[in-house]
Amino acid sequence: MEPLEKNSQAIEKLNELYITTRRKYLVQTESAYFTNDRSKSPNVWTLNDAMLARHLKGTNTYGVFNANAVNKFMTFDVDFADDTQAAKRATKEIIATLITQYNITLEDIHVSISGNKGYHIDLFFDEMLPVETVERFYHNVIKDAGYSSDKVEFRPTWTQGVKLPLGIHQRTGRRCWFVNARTLEPIKSFDYLNEVQPLPAALIKDGAIELTDEQEAEFREIEARTDTTVTAVDTSDALRKSAEILKAGRLIASNTRHSTTVKLAIFFYSQGFEREEAVEAIMEILLNTPREYFSKGSTPEYWRKEAERIVNLAFDRNYTLGNADKPITIYRSEIVEVLKVGTFRQKQLAYAMLVTSKRYGKVFYLTMKSGMAMLGTKSKPTVNTAIKKLVEVGFIEYVRKGEIDNARSKESGHVVYKPNKYRLLVSEPVEGEPSIEVTAEQTLVDVARLLLDEKDIKQHVKRYEFDTRFRVS
């Protein structure tokens, strides 16, 4: 156990993340929980740092309520009485549901031992949210995970508090450590809290949307016939098609704007956009969407403010899309097409574009910054020459080229161009042709050697290039 003098930061984080009211709180004894409420008795102390220090020491154990109408965090209280394995299973299934269905990253899910036989799954928000919104999100999640409210309870409310983590469960004597969200193994350190940051509240708002059965059916139909792969073009198209069918739903509109902003912020970060470029690309999509698709009173000024905030979060916290590190399938014919392109650097760019298209769709963005990173160069002319070559040989085509961003040009006083968009023109692989699963660490040379023998490679590259790049030493 760390000495108490080292716990000042943990106390600070408990204040920051968990406490919205100090006038009402829980006190746990060996037999029960008691509520202290200063509004009912002036003799009650308000919850303070000295009490939090005793909580961490294990002398006393405290819990908190929400601020009556709003929450800045929520807890899924997984309680299966004496069935530890069932509690573990439910905890892992709820975590999986949050990740796969609600776009919550694993680093934003914080799990602690309840002290008895269960777990607390905590989510922290970067803004206060109405308790009704948070509770709708909770009900949607446990429904999708296949559980009921008698096994997984919602905390905290104004009437039902939740015990703070890292203290001692007074009845069992167990320390309520945080655990690894993958393995549920205890992390026996108060330092865990130091790195915890709130997640974008937009994700909770999105997950709180409640559709009627008819709207749900319509939305599933849209998903089935619309490519919702997150590229700017695909998402903009999805918005327009959705607007044609779901014309009036305020909550549906809010869901679309929030989720689109969050996903695109992450996408543009992964694509090497500058922050301002990402914000402007998001605003372009929103401004092209029919206004009736947004909630009443929602304004472009507010959209921009939210876009800037969410983009900064994505960039500061290095968020990536869930498929950013996922292995992809590369086919023999695709590598042959790559090898046919000009110089080795141009081949490198072609391969990088092939991989990008497989992750994000055949139409994709490419900023100059991304292009230079792909080629490992600081020379813009080198990138432009490579792109020109790929267009000339029919590997890619322009979807948008040299389009002036009027708004940013006006603001900056000089001409600013929107990032170009490209479409991959490589033919679809034939059924049954050789292929391999490729990770981000594998280079063009690695993949070419795995899919082709040296004789095949020699047919498509110059002798000097083969000798210096592709020959197996």
- The CATH number assigned to the domain holding 160 equals 3.90.920.20
Q: What pLDDT shows up at residue 373?
A: 77
pLDDT at 54: 94
**456 and 425 assigned to the same domain:** yes
Same domain, 309 and 229: yes
Are 253 and 294 contacting, i.e. CB atoms less than 8 angstroms apart?
A: yes
Considering the domain boundaries, does residue 446 fall inside one?
Answer: yes
Strand partners, 75: 122, 155
Tell me the residue range of the domain where 337 lies. Answer: 328-470
- Report the pLDDT value the prediction gives residue 375, as an integer from 0 to 100: 79
User: Quick check: 104 and 123 in contact, CB under 8 A?
Assistant: yes
Tell me the β-bridge partners of 420.
Answer: 366
Tell me how crowded residue 381 is: count the other CB atoms within 10 A of its CB: 8
Within a domain: 292: yes
pLDDT (tens digit per residue) in 112-171: 999 887 999 999 998 899 998 899 899 889 988 888 888 899 999 999 999 999 999 998
Domains of the chain: total: 3
Which range (270-284, 388-402, 454-468) has the least confidence? 270-284
pLDDT at residue 412 in the model: 60
Point out the least confidently predicted range of 4-18, 54-68, 338-352: 4-18
The pLDDT, as a whole number, for residue 447 is: 93
pLDDT at 301: 84
Indicate if 263 and 291 belong to the same structural domain: yes
For the record, the structure tokens of 274 come out as: 């500058």
Number of Cα atoms under 13 Å in the Cβ half of residue 81:
1
**Mean pLDDT taken over the chain:** 80
Residue 381 pLDDT > 80: yes
Q: Give the percent of the chain with pLDDT over 90.
A: 37
Q: How far apart are CA 111 and CA 157, in angstroms?
A: 19
Same structural domain, 55 and 187: yes
Q: Could you tell me which residue, 239 or 171, shows the higher pLDDT?
A: 171
- Of residues 4 and 366, more confidence is placed in 366
Residue 204 forms part of a structural domain = no
Could you write out the DSSP letters of every residue in 254-299?
Answer: HHHHHHHHHHHHHHHHHTT--HHHHHHHHHHHHHTS-GGGS-TT--
Residue 322 lies in a domain: no
Q: What is the pTM for the complete model shown?
A: 0.50
pLDDT top residue among 44 and 217: 44
Q: Are residues 312 and 334 in the same domain?
A: no
Whether 49 and 113 have beta carbons less than 8 Å apart is answered as: no
Asked if 18 and 139 sit in the same domain, the reply is: yes
Same domain, 351 and 441: yes
CB of 166 closer than 8 Å to CB of 177:
yes
